[in-house]
Amino acid sequence: MQWKEIEKIIGENEKYTRMLEYYESTGRMPTRKVPRTFTISQSSFDTLKSESRKTGKTMSALLDELIEKNFGT
Protein backbone atom coordinates (compact mmCIF):
# COMPACT_ATOMS: atom_id res chain seq x y z
CA MET A 1 0.00 0.00 0.00
CA GLN A 2 1.33 3.44 -0.94
CA TRP A 3 1.82 6.10 1.73
CA LYS A 4 -0.69 8.42 -0.02
CA GLU A 5 -3.32 5.69 0.18
CA ILE A 6 -2.63 5.24 3.88
CA GLU A 7 -2.92 9.00 4.50
CA LYS A 8 -6.21 9.07 2.58
CA ILE A 9 -7.65 6.22 4.65
CA ILE A 10 -6.53 7.87 7.88
CA GLY A 11 -8.05 11.19 6.79
CA GLU A 12 -11.36 9.59 5.88
CA ASN A 13 -11.48 7.75 9.20
CA GLU A 14 -9.95 10.39 11.47
CA LYS A 15 -12.42 9.77 14.29
CA TYR A 16 -11.52 6.07 14.44
CA THR A 17 -7.82 6.83 14.14
CA ARG A 18 -8.07 9.12 17.18
CA MET A 19 -9.99 6.43 19.05
CA LEU A 20 -7.25 3.87 18.39
CA GLU A 21 -4.55 6.36 19.39
CA TYR A 22 -6.42 7.06 22.63
CA TYR A 23 -6.73 3.35 23.39
CA GLU A 24 -3.06 2.78 22.61
CA SER A 25 -1.91 5.56 24.94
CA THR A 26 -4.36 4.94 27.84
CA GLY A 27 -5.40 1.30 27.56
CA ARG A 28 -9.05 2.41 27.89
CA MET A 29 -11.76 2.30 25.25
CA PRO A 30 -12.88 5.83 24.37
CA THR A 31 -16.41 4.61 23.65
CA ARG A 32 -16.97 3.47 27.23
CA LYS A 33 -19.62 5.57 28.98
CA VAL A 34 -18.59 7.18 32.26
CA PRO A 35 -21.39 8.32 34.56
CA ARG A 36 -20.62 11.67 36.21
CA THR A 37 -22.59 14.27 38.10
CA PHE A 38 -22.14 17.93 37.27
CA THR A 39 -24.16 21.12 37.30
CA ILE A 40 -25.16 23.46 34.48
CA SER A 41 -27.28 26.59 34.42
CA GLN A 42 -31.03 26.21 34.12
CA SER A 43 -31.05 28.00 30.76
CA SER A 44 -28.39 25.64 29.37
CA PHE A 45 -30.36 22.66 30.63
CA ASP A 46 -33.56 23.98 29.04
CA THR A 47 -31.76 24.53 25.73
CA LEU A 48 -30.24 21.05 25.85
CA LYS A 49 -33.55 19.43 26.71
CA SER A 50 -35.34 21.34 23.93
CA GLU A 51 -32.72 20.30 21.37
CA SER A 52 -32.96 16.72 22.61
CA ARG A 53 -36.70 16.66 22.01
CA LYS A 54 -36.34 18.36 18.62
CA THR A 55 -33.66 15.99 17.29
CA GLY A 56 -34.67 12.80 19.09
CA LYS A 57 -31.12 12.44 20.42
CA THR A 58 -30.36 11.94 24.08
CA MET A 59 -28.90 14.83 26.03
CA SER A 60 -25.76 12.75 26.58
CA ALA A 61 -25.36 12.21 22.84
CA LEU A 62 -25.77 15.94 22.22
CA LEU A 63 -23.14 16.74 24.86
CA ASP A 64 -20.75 14.19 23.33
CA GLU A 65 -21.21 15.82 19.91
CA LEU A 66 -20.68 19.34 21.29
CA ILE A 67 -17.54 18.33 23.16
CA GLU A 68 -16.10 16.54 20.14
CA LYS A 69 -16.90 19.49 17.88
CA ASN A 70 -15.54 22.17 20.22
CA PHE A 71 -12.61 20.39 21.82
CA GLY A 72 -11.65 17.89 19.13
CA THR A 73 -11.71 14.74 21.25
Reported as a single tens digit per residue, the pLDDT across 35-44 is 889 899 999 9
SS3 state of residue 41: coil
Residue 73 and residue 18: Cα distance in Å, rounded? 8
Residue 51 and residue 57: Cα distance in Å, rounded? 8
| pLDDT (mean) for 2-14 | 77
What predicted TM-score, i.e. pTM, was given to this entire model?
0.59
Where does the pLDDT of residue 31 fall: very low under 50, low under 70, confident under 90, or very high at 90 and above?
confident
**Predicted local confidence at residue 50, as pLDDT:** 96
* Positions of CATH 1.10.1220 in the chain: 34-73
Residue 2 and residue 23: Cα distance in Å, rounded? 26
- Under CATH, what is the fold of the domain 34-73? Arc Repressor Mutant (1.10.1220)
Q: Which amino acid, one-letter code, is at 30?
A: P
Q: Are 54 and 48 in contact (CB under 8 A)?
A: no
**Predicted local confidence at residue 1, as pLDDT:** 64
